[in-house]
Amino acid sequence: MAVRTLDSVALDGKRVLVRVDLNLPMQDGRITDPTRLTAAAQTVREIAGKGGRVVVLAHFGRPKGVDPTQSLQPLLAPLAAALAPHPVRFVADCIGPVAEAAVAGLADGEVLLCENLRFHAGEEANDAGFTASLAKLGDLWVMDAFSAAHRAHASTAGLGALLPGVAGRTMQRELAALSKALAHPDRPVMAIVGGAKVSTKLDLLGNLAGKVDILAIGGGMANTFLAAMGLNVRESLCEHGLADTARAIQAEARARGCKILLPIDVVVAETLSSDAEVELVAVERVPEGRKIFDIGPATVAGWLSAMRTARTVVWNGPVGAFEVPPFDQGTVHLARKMTELDEMLSVAGGGDTVAALAAAGVIDKMSYVSTAGGAFLEWLEGKTLPGVAAVGG
Residues marked as catalytic: 36, 197, 351, 374
Nearest CA to 317 out of 227, 392, 219 is that of 219
Task: Tell me how far CA of residue 334 lies from CA of 253, 338, 387, in angstroms.
Answer: 23, 6, 33
- Whether 114 and 99 have beta carbons less than 8 Å apart is answered as yes
- Taking residue 29's Cβ as centre, other Cβ atoms within 10 Å add up to 6
Secondary structure E strands in the chain: 15-19, 26-27, 30-31, 53-57, 88-91, 111-114, 140-143, 165-167, 189-193, 214-217, 259-261, 265-269, 279-282, 291-295, 312-316, 345-349, 368-370
d(CA 148, CA 146): 5
Q: Can you tell me whether residue 74 is helix, strand or coil?
A: helix
Dihedral-angle region of residue 234 (phi above 0 means left; psi in -120 to 50 means alpha; beta otherwise):
left
Closest by CA position to 94, among listed 123, 67, 69: 123
Q: Which residues contact 49 (CB under 8 A, 6 or more apart)?
A: 86, 109
Contact 198, 245 (CB under 8 A): yes
Q: What is the largest CA-CA distance in the chain?
A: 71
Roughly how many angstroms between the first and final C-alpha of the chain, as a whole number?
A: 8
Cα 300 from Cα 182, distance rounded (Å): 23
The answer to whether the CB of 224 falls within 8 A of the CB of 246 is yes
In terms of C-beta density within 10 A (0-12 exposed, 13-18 middle, 19 or more buried), how is residue 110 classed? middle
The secondary structure element, H or E, covering residue 22 is none
What is the tally of helices (H) and strands (E) in the chain?
Answer: 14, 17
